[in-house]
Amino acid sequence: MNLQEFFNIAIFDITVKHIIIFCLKALLIYVITQAAVSIIKYLFRRSQKKKKIPFLDKTTVGFIQRIFVYTIYIIGSAIFLSLIPGMEKVSSSILAGAGIMAMAIGFASQEALSNIIGGFFIVFAKPFRIGDIIKIDEVVNGTVSEITLRHTIIRSMDNRMIIIPNSKINSSTIINSTIGEQETFSFIEVSVSYETNLDKAIAAMREEIMRHPMLIDRRTPEDKQAGVQQVVIRVVELGNSAITLKAWAWAANAGNAFSMKCDLLKSIKERYDKENIEIPYPYNNIVIKK
């Protein structure tokens, strides 16, 4: 039996020649797949050792490496199945699934792209800058610490870092206390009982506010000439059990306004105690019938 006759021997209607060619192709696919996986792992190990990209930590590198390795294995398996007669459709389905996965990744990357574009809008339009004190949607309040392509980091008043995607910030309402005039006023509300002499309570409240060192005078020369008070105090509510007094006190910036409000609430309470001005609080009377 010569070599040609050996190659023509049929096993289950498949010649030895076709079996050998199939095995060689399968071995070649396996070698190329394993070589590609080894190269990918080597490149990621090398990049991690040299640390050329600082934001790629071990978690990120491992995640991206697995994506590449699984993709290579999927492509290799699809090519191998295409060698088997009747399995071409399965191979096409696997490749189509890989294509759908790629489309899904593309759609998912739209959010990342919108964050990057949002970062450019923030940097160039400058609704806020690093160091500005801002409030977002009346929920997040703090100082801008860092602006990256994907997100903005805000340091809250309790020294916590709040990370917000740029795309979300661009669609939010932003109150910037640093841009333009930083002078702002603080609302100071105190309740007094109905038996209180309101003129006496207002005068004591105004004296305490006028003593505070952070208070500034925002009156125009015309206001001063007209006798407008530096601190305006008005009755804003006649409640069920109390009368609410509200004062407008100006400060140089939002931080001073907050500190001044806290100080004045304490000093007004102490002053009212000395003046025997009642600050009412809810209480219940229990009537026991014999």
125-176, what's its fold?
A: SH3 type barrels. (2.30.30)
What is the residue-wise DSSP string for 84-107? STT-HHHHHHHHHHHHHHHHHHHH
Class level of CATH domain 184-274: alpha beta
pLDDT in the model for residue 172: 85
Looking at domain 3-121, its CATH architecture is: Orthogonal Bundle (1.10)
What is the phi-psi region of residue 138: left when phi exceeds 0, alpha when psi lies from -120 to 50, beta otherwise? left
pTM: 0.50
Residues shown for the chain: 290
Collapsed DSSP state (helix, strand, coil) of residue 218: coil
Collapsed DSSP state (helix, strand, coil) of residue 69: helix
pLDDT in the model for residue 184: 82
Q: Dihedral sign for Cα 28, 33, 34, 35, please.
A: positive
pLDDT in the model for residue 189: 92
Q: What is the mean pLDDT of each run of 10 residues along the chain (290 residues)?
A: 56 64 82 87 76 55 72 80 62 55 54 75 80 84 82 86 87 81 84 91 92 88 85 89 91 86 93 90 77
Domain ranges for the chain, please list them: 3-121, 125-176, 184-274
**Using CB atoms within 10 A of its CB, is residue 209 exposed (0-12), middle (13-18) or buried (19+)?**
buried
Q: How far apart are CA 252 and CA 184, in angstroms?
A: 6
